[in-house]
């Protein structure tokens, strides 16, 4: 109690009436209420005033609590969430992914004035009613990265690293796959990107707040120029596989060589223009391999002679020989045709059979040691005769050993010597049966000889030809055919001169020993039966030259001129003889008809023996003529 109150007289207080006291109380209450109400109003309005710049309690903007926050504060909160929460995942080929975060690219929002409008629409004096009522606003915002940061981040994408990009590969053809052939290999996509398109696509994705970007869907990868659907590629594969269906079966008698896809596949390749190439070198090597295995020309041949010896015959012009160049060309064409076939190779020289011996079972056997001839037909010996071969003591006149064949045969051939200055010949001697087998060497009748066989050939033989009795030559001429093998050999004295019991007795004019010859085929003088034939006077103009061995008494074969004009041109295919010297049957070089009479035959001008040149096999060559042979077939 204040001093004033203390000084108020108690009495005066007591004298206050009840009414006065009541009035005073009411007044006091009113006063106090007024004071309190004014204070509350002031408080309410002062609190409400702050909501002119901040949002009411329980206000949410774009998922962010905006209570008691200004517009700027709300924008910062919304943007910060964007920076923290935003991610763009870029998906490349092969499952490779890379993530760009909002923070890396300075991601933020740009707002319009929507928040300002929402705030201005608030009635600050209504704040009391929002103490338990939530208000949520959704405003449109624009996500905006820092463009420099974004560009830098895109440049650092692993997809755009040049060192890691892989170029696409075009579809192509496979190598030969055993059992499957050639196939079209699909293209390989690679990882090379169009950088500008990628940059634009990523920038757009960020501005549109996309969370994933699949590059494959955007068509930004570099494509292969040739795909597996390329028609020309498919057609090429089909063509190659068609080549592989070819099987070439070479027939060599009972033996076969099969060329199939496993070998052909290694010969095939593609040119730059897409055309198919067949390797000629490999094809040629294959054909050469065939020739190495199956050619017999020039290779040793084994013969079991009639006398029982087994001899090896080397050299000669008879045998199989593949024309490798022509066969290579034809083989390549067969492969290109896509058609399988069974074939024999193209031969430049042929023989009679394939197998152990190529001469077959029809042939002439000339045993130079025994000076005896046998002619076999289909395995049966049908003719035999003694003969006189080239002079053994003069190697320039010795009959060549080897395997040969009858080049052709001709009746009434005129053998001529050297042409003189006046155009005449040193001699013109006809023979009735001419059967050459190598160069100018052949089988023919020798009507001027009185004996055959024995040792005549050692010093007084022919100049290389095989001289036969007329009757033997005549019979052989009727039996033998062009192309028949002629096997010439020696046995070095070990060959037998005893003929098998099955051998028919030789005719009188084919006797091995120097016996009496039949009158109709003998020279005018008949020798004594028990000794050598009586000498026949040789023509004076063909006496042996000085230094030449003296002939036996029964040898009156004329000396040949060095330029013996047996045709030297090569021979062509059967049925198409090449042009030869016009000295056919019964004619001379000048075209004059020569009449041949066996009983008045002039001495034979033996052709001078020269080194035999390679010649084609039986029946004639296949292909080009062989230079240096005795003459044409036909």
pLDDT for 445: 96
Q: In terms of domains, do 24 and 39 share one?
A: yes
Q: Can you tell me the mean pLDDT for 107-132? A: 82
Burial class (CB in 10 A: 0-12, 13-18, 19+), 36: exposed
**Distance in angstroms (rounded) separating the CA atoms of residues 319 and 617:** 6
**Claim to verify: residue 473 and residue 577 sit in the same structural domain:** yes
Q: Which is higher by pLDDT, 599 or 138?
A: 138
Tens of pLDDT along 563-591?
A: 333 333 333 333 333 333 333 333 333 33
Q: What is the pLDDT of residues 430-446, one digit of tens each?
A: 899 999 999 889 999 99
In whole angstroms, give the CA distance from residue 626 to residue 286. 25
pLDDT, tens only, 455-472: 999 999 998 999 999 999
Residues 373 and 496 in one domain: yes
Give a yes or no: residue 167 inside a domain. no
**290 backbone dihedrals φ, ψ, rounded to 5°:** -60, -45
pLDDT in tens, 623-632: 333 333 333 2
In-domain check, residue 335:
yes
- pLDDT beyond 90 at 241: no
Specify whether 251 is located in the same domain as 110. no
**Residues composing the chain:** 634
CA distance linking residue 389 with residue 397, whole number of Å: 9
- Note whether residue 306 is domain-resident: no
Residue 501 within a domain: yes
Q: How confident is the model at residue 26 (pLDDT cuts 50, 70, 90)?
A: low
Across the chain, what does the average pLDDT equal? Answer: 76
DSSP 3-state assignment of 364?
strand
Is the pLDDT assigned to residue 347 strictly greater than 50? yes
SS3 percent helix, strand, coil of the chain, rounded to 5, is 30, 20, 50
- 602 and 622 inside one domain: yes
> Does residue 204 form part of some domain?
yes
What pLDDT shows up at residue 529?
Answer: 35
Q: Is 552 helix (H, G, I), strand (E, B) or coil?
A: coil
In degrees, rounded to 5, the angle at the alpha carbon of residue 415 between the alpha carbons of residues 427 and 316 is 135
Is 113 within the bounds of a domain? yes
Q: What is the CATH number of the domain that holds 549?
A: 2.40.440.10
Q: Of the candidates 411, 429, 407, 408, which has an alpha carbon nearest to the alpha carbon of residue 585? A: 411
Select the more confidently predicted residue: 126 or 383. 383
Q: What is the CATH number of the domain that holds 274?
A: 3.10.20.800
Statement to judge: residues 261 and 365 lie in one domain: no
Residues 531, 590: one domain? yes
Are both 337 and 373 inside the same structural domain? no
Q: Is residue 356 part of a domain?
A: no
Residues 470 and 589 in one domain: yes
Q: Are residues 70 and 97 in the same domain?
A: yes
Please compute the mean of the pLDDT values over residues 148-165 and round it to a whole number: 92
Residues 212, 138, single domain; the answer is yes
**What's the confidence (pLDDT) of residue 528?**
34
Overall number of domains in the chain: 4
Q: In terms of residue numbers, what domain contains 278?
A: 245-297+320-349
Q: Please check whether residues 389 and 334 belong to one and the same domain.
A: no
């Amino acid at each position: 109690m204040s001093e004033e109150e203390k000084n108020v007289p108690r009495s005066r207080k007591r004298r206050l009436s009840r009414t006065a006291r009541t009035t005073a109380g009411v007044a006091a209450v009113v006063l106090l209420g007024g004071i309190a109400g004014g204070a509350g109003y002031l408080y309410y309005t002062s609190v409400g005033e702050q909501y002119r710049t901040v949002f009411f309690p329980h206000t949410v903007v774009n998922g962010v609590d905006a209570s008691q926050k200004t517009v700027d504060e709300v924008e910062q909160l919304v943007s910060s969430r964007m920076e923290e929460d935003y991610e763009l995942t870029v998906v490349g080929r092969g499952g490779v992914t890379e993530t760009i975060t909002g923070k890396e690219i300075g991601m933020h929002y740009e707002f319009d004035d929507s928040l300002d409008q929402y705030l201005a629409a608030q009635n600050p004096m209504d704040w009391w009613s929002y103490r338990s009522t939530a208000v949520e606003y959704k405003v449109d915002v624009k996500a905006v990265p820092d463009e420099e940061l974004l560009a830098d981040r895109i440049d650092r994408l692993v997809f755009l690293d040049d060192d890691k990009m892989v170029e696409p590969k075009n579809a192509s053809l496979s190598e030969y796959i055993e059992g499957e052939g050639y196939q079209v290999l699909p293209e390989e996509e690679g990882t090379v990107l169009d950088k500008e398109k990628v940059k634009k696509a990523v920038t757009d994705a960020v501005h549109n707040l996309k969370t994933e970007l699949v590059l494959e869907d955007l068509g930004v990868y570099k494509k292969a120029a040739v795909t597996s659907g390329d028609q020309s590629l498919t057609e090429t594969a089909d063509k190659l596989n068609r080549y592989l269906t070819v099987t070439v079966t070479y027939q060599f008698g009972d033996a076969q060589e099969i060329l199939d896809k496993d070998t052909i596949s290694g010969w095939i390749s593609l040119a730059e223009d897409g055309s198919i190439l067949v390797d000629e070198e490999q094809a040629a090597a294959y054909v050469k391999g065939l020739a190495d295995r199956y050619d017999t020309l020039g290779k040793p041949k084994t013969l079991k002679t009639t006398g029982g010896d087994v001899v090896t015959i080397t050299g000669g012009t008879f045998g199989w020989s593949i024309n490798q160049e022509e066969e290579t060309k034809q083989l390549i064409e067969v492969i290109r045709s896509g058609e399988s076939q069974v074939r024999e190779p193209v031969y430049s020289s042929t023989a009679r059979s394939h197998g152990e011996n190529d001469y077959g079972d029809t042939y002439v056997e000339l045993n130079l040691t025994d000076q005896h001839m046998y002619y076999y037909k289909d395995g049966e010996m049908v003719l035999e005769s003694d003969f006189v071969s080239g002079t053994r003591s003069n190697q320039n006149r010795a009959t060549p050993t080897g395997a040969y064949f009858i080049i052709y045969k001709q009746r009434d051939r005129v053998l001529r010597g050297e042409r003189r200055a006046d155009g005449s010949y040193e001699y013109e001697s006809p023979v009735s049966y001419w059967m050459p087998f190598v160069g100018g060497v052949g089988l023919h009748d020798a009507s001027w000889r009185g004996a055959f066989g024995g040792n005549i050939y050692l010093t007084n033989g022919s100049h290389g030809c095989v001289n036969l009795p007329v009757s033997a030559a005549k019979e052989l001429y009727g039996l033998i055919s062009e192309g028949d093998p002629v096997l010439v050999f020696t046995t070095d004295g070990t060959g037998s001169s005893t003929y098998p019991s099955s051998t028919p007795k030789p005719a009188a004019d084919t006797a091995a020993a120097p016996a009496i010859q039949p009158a109709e085929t003998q020279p005018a003088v008949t020798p004594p039966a028990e000794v050598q034939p009586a000498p026949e006077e040789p023509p004076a103009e063909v006496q042996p030259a000085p230094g030449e061995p003296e002939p036996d008494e029964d040898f009156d074969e004329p000396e040949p001129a060095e330029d013996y004009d047996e045709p030297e041109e090569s021979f062509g295919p059967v049925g198409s003889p090449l042009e030869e010297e016009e000295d056919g049957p019964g004619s001379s070089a000048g075209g004059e008809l020569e009449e041949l009479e066996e009983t008045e035959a002039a001495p034979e001008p033996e052709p001078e023996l020269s080194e035999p040149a390679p010649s084609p096999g039986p029946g004639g060559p296949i292909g080009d003529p062989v230079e240096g042979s005795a003459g044409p077939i036909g």
